[in-house]
Structure 1
């Protein structure tokens, strides 16, 4: 159970329902949810900021959404999901996210998961 003294982690990742392509987003969504349950099991507060790729050219304000999430609490750790890092065509988006973290959560550690089910493990490397 989370207490007011428990660490807080923000997970920034892709919303599987907003990633274009012919694919089934349900397994990814379930994997994200399963990964997040580990935080509660360890008494660690977690929130997500899931962004879409379908609207990046249609006016989605990723900078505002992520900035608002980063400013909403003091975070001990911000974890960036693998879907944002494993594609060369998303390097500018990754740069934007890292710089937003540096600007709005300068005291937070930055962690990277390998898969959605390793999100807690990635954050746990950096939180007390």
Structure 2
């Protein structure tokens, strides 16, 4: 069975005033998208896990722990750690943690969380 991990930034830690984020974004919309993504992965017959991280080194430690616990076929990095230009250092740390913790897993990128399954399918 396909095993997918979705990595995103904890919604309550996102700076929604950042103009690089999609207009109208908020923690509730992100959580709703995460819920849709989980349902979509289950409908595809996949085991889908979510790892929401803080935008600091504790988040990278959380991700490393998750990666050490399961072998994933694909890891999807969401827009939270990837989109805001000021988040580039976090994004680099996420990519490096994935490279170290799951070197055989494919990597994909989603922008709205509800597109996680589509990103993993690519």
TM-score class normalised by the smaller sequence: 0.7 to 0.9
What SS does structure 1 have at the residue aligned with 2:72? coil
How high is the TM-score relative to the length of structure 2? Answer: 0.86
Aligned residues: 115
Structure 1 unaligned blocks of 5 or more: 1-5
Q: Deviations over 1:2-58 (max 9, x none)?
A: xxxx110111101212324577421221111112210000110011110134xx3xx
How high is the TM-score relative to the length of structure 1? Answer: 0.82
Structure 2 unaligned blocks of 5 or more: 18-24
Question: What is the CA–CA distance in structure 1 between the aligned matches of 2:29 and 2:112, rounded to whole Å?
Answer: 12
Question: What is the CA–CA distance in structure 2 between the aligned matches of 1:74 and 1:89, rounded to whole Å?
Answer: 30
Give the root-mean-square deviation of aligned CA atoms. Answer: 1.6
**Which segments of structure 1 move beyond 6 Å, counting only runs of 4 or more?**
none
